[in-house]
Structure 1
Amino acid sequence: MVTFITRSAATALLVVASTVAQADWTLDADASRLSFISTKNVDKAEVHYFRELSGAVNDEGEARIEVPLDSVETAIQIRNTRMREFLFETGEYPTLVVSAAVDAAVLESGGHRTQDVELTVSMHGSSKRYTAPLSVVRASDGSLAVSTLEPLVVDAADFDLGAGIAKLQELAGLASISTAVPVSVQLVFRADD
């Protein structure tokens, strides 16, 4: 019985030790932002963002970001409501998910790297792969800063959002709303203790 308890304790310590040895990072939502630009009537561009983000990066560089689409912020309450209801249809599709893998070497070595990162965006029942040039910095405090080097242009039609855009256009009495949407991110991840 003592041998069984000793082996169990040793196994538990190994599991805890291996978990502690892995460096994982959690998204600092207060220091992070995912923003996008909408263009209406050909030349009227406006910047919007999401108030809430969550996510993590593991020690192998695998990242996952979740964006509650109800947190869209356009600076106009009725537009926020319309985007949630008619564009994103958050009752049925509440979350946007981005998954990617960054070069794990930067996670260990510190410093700064720029790299083209393959990422998958899942939203509104559809998924699309992109390649985005990102800057990845490991700071001396152990945090990771990840940002787009240039906006990623997402076509809303790839996510079956065309009908929602048409509805927003109708409700606002606009001549047009572009389906091409430039998206930028600035993300900060803090090392888990």
Structure 2
Amino acid sequence: MKHFILMALLFCFSVGLQAETWNVDNQASQVNFISVKKRDAAEVHRFTQVEGRLSETGFELSIPLKSVQTNIEIRDQRMQSMLFEVAKFPELKLTAQIKSKMVDSMVIGQRQVLSVPAKISLHGFVQSMTIDVVIAKLSDQQVMATSLQPIIVSADGFGLGEGIEKLRQIASLSSISWAVPVTFVLVLNK
């Protein structure tokens, strides 16, 4: 009987030490990017769907590329088919080396700035980069992660140059920048 009680106590203790999973709240989160055309005409666009989780194994984020929103329907459709080629490459995936235990150990109201190694998979290519993130613990059940500064994504690093050129031609534009600033606000809940 003593052995059973000891095992039950050890099990309860080990369960309490395990980090919990945090899930991205799509409604409260946002990923934006800026396109620049004709040298100085900048526009902010976003993705309306983000999915992800932070666990003991790290952070994973998935963005369905069909959720791109530019506030111009024909441009959304062209970006989906000509740039992202969503039929072949339906999503962007990001993985980052950050563990849920770190977030669990923060106190409510605490804010941390981290440089996080990440991998981005997009359009059949994978790129590694370091992303500067601000993490704030809002409550025991909610954290927010935001980009400290815009992340500059280079289109040629993901094989998107041909798609940008197609968009430029069909819209009769003199230029579309291949360097794209990206920002994010992610809210995660337990």
- Pick from 89, 95, 110 the counterpart of residue 91 of structure 2: 95
Q: Which letter does structure 2 place at the counterpart of 1:56?
A: R
What percent identity do the matched residue pairs reach? 34
**Contact preservation (8 Å) 1:33, 1:186:** yes
* Aligned residue in 1 for 2:123: 124
TM-score, normalising length: structure 2: 0.88
Unmatched 5+ residue regions in structure 2? none
**Contact preservation (8 Å) 1:114, 1:136:** yes
Secondary structure class of the residue paired with 2:75: helix
Q: How many residues align?
A: 179
Query: 1:18-55: per-residue Cα shift (whole Å, max 9, x none)?
Result: 49954111110000001000000100000000011100
Task: Quickly say closer, same or farther: Cα 1:19–1:106, change in 2 above 3 A.
Answer: closer
**1:54 and 2:80 are equivalent in the alignment:** no
**1:114 and 2:110 are equivalent in the alignment:** no
Task: Quickly say closer, same or farther: Cα 1:113–1:171, change in 2 above 3 A.
Answer: same
**Contact preservation (8 Å) 2:19, 2:104:** no
- Pick from 24, 28, 31 the counterpart of residue 27 of structure 1: 24
Q: Which letter does structure 2 place at the counterpart of 1:33?
A: Q
TM-score, normalising length: structure 1: 0.86
**1:173 and 2:172 are equivalent in the alignment:** yes
How many Å apart are 1:127 and its aligned residue? Answer: 0.6
2:71, 2:158 → 1: CA distance? 24
- Pick from 62, 73, 78 the counterpart of residue 74 of structure 2: 78
Secondary structure class of the residue paired with 2:157: helix
Q: After the TM superposition, list the runs of 4 or more consecutive aligned residues in structure 1 that deviate by more than 3 angstroms.
A: 17-22
2:160, 2:40 → 1: CA distance? 21
Q: Which letter does structure 1 place at the counterpart of 2:124?
A: G
How many Å apart are 1:142 and its aligned residue? Answer: 2.4
Secondary structure class of the residue paired with 2:77: helix
- Provide the alpha-carbon RMSD of the alignment: 2.2
1:123, 1:75 → 2: CA distance? 23
Unmatched 5+ residue regions in structure 1? 1-6
**1:136 and 2:121 are equivalent in the alignment:** no
2:56, 2:111 → 1: CA distance? 17
How many Å apart are 1:105 and its aligned residue? Answer: 2.7
2:16, 2:124 → 1: CA distance? 34
Query: 1:131-154: per-residue Cα shift (whole Å, max 9, x none)?
Result: 111101112242111000100000
